[in-house]
Structure 1
Amino acid sequence: MTWTSTMSSGYSSLEEDSEEFFFTARTSFFKKPQARSKPERDAGKEREPPKVFTQEELRQKIKAYNSSVTDRLKMSLNLNEVYTGFIKVQMDLQRPITIRARSAQGSQVYNNSNETAFYLPKNTSNTLHISSSNTVKDVIEALLKKFTVIDNPAKFALFKQFLVGDQVYSSKLSDGEHPLYLRLLAGPSMDALSFVLREYETGEVLWEAFSLPELQNFLRILDKEEEEQFKLLRRCYVTYKAKLEAALKATGKPD
């Protein structure tokens, strides 16, 4: 089964190998947090224990789910009462990720040996084919593998989001929860439930959690940005100086 990728979406399976692919990303190390179209609220930590369905109940629920699907990404029930289906995960990462470097013509990357640190583009998402037995931890590890990310999976967390009116509610999922079960209960609507991969902590950066190669990559990015900012400031200064001198000459005043 293949995995197709664009700047906004992709497809992969936890059960089958696929071609690895990564994106060339923006190089701003001091990236501003992405603006969210609607405010988010924490949905709270209360979680109902998963309900155990009989095979007939599962069959009926999956049938009802498939009848509402509009993108052909339906669920299937196996004889052992394990069902398979699809979830879409948005990659909402605010910090650089580290991948095993591959040659990419026209891309601007910062290498340390065979590793590359860069930002994942906005609106990057991936559609995973998973089973009801796959956990949140499995999904995180699969996403990192498909993007050839070598960062520690413990740095990331999977969040669930749902929309109530104009308010977006968000809650971090525990590693042992089953995303496909949540998808089945919520139905195929992305307003009712969506999944987002984020850093485990979005506040202050814990630099001690990064490896030495990662930190060296960050320093290279900072050096490059410092050089680019200096060039930009110098160009602005030269342009302003030329305009000021021209204005002084036009008024007949001495320099």
Structure 2
Amino acid sequence: CSYTCHYRCQPFIQLDCSIHGSVSTEKRDFTEDSIETDTNVDEQTEAGKQELSAAEIHHKIKEYNAQINNNLYMVVNKDKSYTGFIKVHFQLLRPISLPPPPQRQNSTEEEGQQSRRIRRRTSFYLPKDAAKHLHISSETRVREVIEALLKKFTVVDNPAKFALFERTEKQSQVCMRKLSDEEHPLLLRLCAGPSEAALSLVLKENETGDVNWDAFSLPELSNFLRILQREEEEHIRQIVKRYTNARDMMRQAMTHITTPG
């Protein structure tokens, strides 16, 4: 049998397979965890829901530090907070905007006025494997992490255009969960341990149902319109091609049909 099925569809399919003349109606048991479910900011993981006591924090930090082989330790402070490092991976599909280069010292006043009127930005794509370590405290929230990352790369884009995601692997499946602005990434890191396979943090575009187009610059909006135009033209081309092929196949089939009499 060469039966192939998408893993999301497995729990909804029951096979009646013939095996040596008999029929097998065995139904596989699937738990809810075997299905990759879409999560959102309202569905926190167990790590995000935890409220640890001071003793539990000390114990987990001791366990955490014992597992790492570098100097990125977590440290407990006198005020019962703790500090440590998180690693954020970048998965940005759109280019980021940087401030314009500094004006030359010998530039004329007219050139300076012209450059201020234009206010050009430099845009470029980050490498797919880009990542950054940040030293934060247990009180640092997601929104502050995003702002700190943009500041380190001198990105001038609106922080609202980005979101931080929690990437976890469960039963050979990868799940992405968008973190709310009020969550604490260092707590997630502490509860999950230092393993990137257990939990990693990813910065992506903030894909929401309602896009705040006012957050984009005029060149970006113009570029989006061109992209939409190309996508629309490609979609129309594929539809026309599909119907043309269907008509050709029907006409070819008609030529092989002989009329009676």
TM-score w.r.t. length of structure 2? 0.59
The code of the aligned residue for 1:211 comes to S
Higher helix share: 2
Give the CA deviation at 1:207: 4.8
Residue 76, structure 1, aligned to residue 85, structure 2: no
Q: Deviations over 1:156-190 (max 9, x none)?
A: 10000111232111100000000000000000000
Change (3 A) 1:160 1:76: same
Q: For the residues of structure 1 that align with 2:51 and 2:91, how far apart are their CA atoms?
A: 32
Q: CA contact under 8 A between 1:41 and 1:167: conserved in structure 2?
A: no
Residue 172, structure 1, aligned to residue 170, structure 2: no
Residue 46, structure 1, aligned to residue 52, structure 2: no
Q: Deviations over 1:19-43 (max 9, x none)?
A: xxxxxxxxxxxxxxxxxxxxx7534
Q: For the residues of structure 2 that align with 1:91 and 1:119, how far apart are their CA atoms?
A: 11
Q: For the residues of structure 2 that align with 1:67 and 1:147, how far apart are their CA atoms?
A: 32
The code of the aligned residue for 2:72 comes to L
Partner of 1:7: none
Partner of 2:259: none
Change (3 A) 1:182 1:212: same
1:40-119 → structure 2 map (5 Å cutoff): 42-43=38-39, 45-47=42-44, 50-102=49-101, 113-119=119-125
Q: CA contact under 8 A between 1:41 and 1:168: conserved in structure 2?
A: no
3-state SS of 1:126 partner? strand
1:1-255 → structure 2 map (5 Å cutoff): 42-43=38-39, 45-47=42-44, 50-102=49-101, 113-201=119-207, 207-212=213-218, 214-215=220-221, 218=223
Q: In structure 2, list runs of 5 or more residues that go unmatched.
A: 1-35, 103-114, 228-261
Q: Which has the higher contact order (CA 8 A, sep 6+)?
A: 1
Give the CA deviation at 1:205: 7.4
Give the CA deviation at 1:73: 1.2
Q: CA contact under 8 A between 1:89 and 1:194: conserved in structure 2?
A: yes
Q: For the residues of structure 1 that align with 2:37 and 2:201, how far apart are their CA atoms?
A: 15
Give the CA deviation at 1:77: 0.3
Q: Structure 1 vs Structure 2: percent identity of aligned residues?
A: 52
Give the CA deviation at 1:209: 3.5
Q: For the residues of structure 2 that align with 1:101 and 1:41, how far apart are their CA atoms?
A: 43
Q: For the residues of structure 1 that align with 2:210 and 2:123, how far apart are their CA atoms?
A: 19
Q: CA RMSD in A?
A: 2.9
Q: For the residues of structure 2 that align with 1:78 and 1:89, how far apart are their CA atoms?
A: 23
Q: CA contact under 8 A between 1:117 and 1:214: conserved in structure 2?
A: no
**Structure possessing the higher radius of gyration over alpha carbons:** 2
Give the CA deviation at 1:211: 2.0
Change (3 A) 1:95 1:205: farther
Give the CA deviation at 1:142: 0.5
- Aligned residue pairs, count: 175
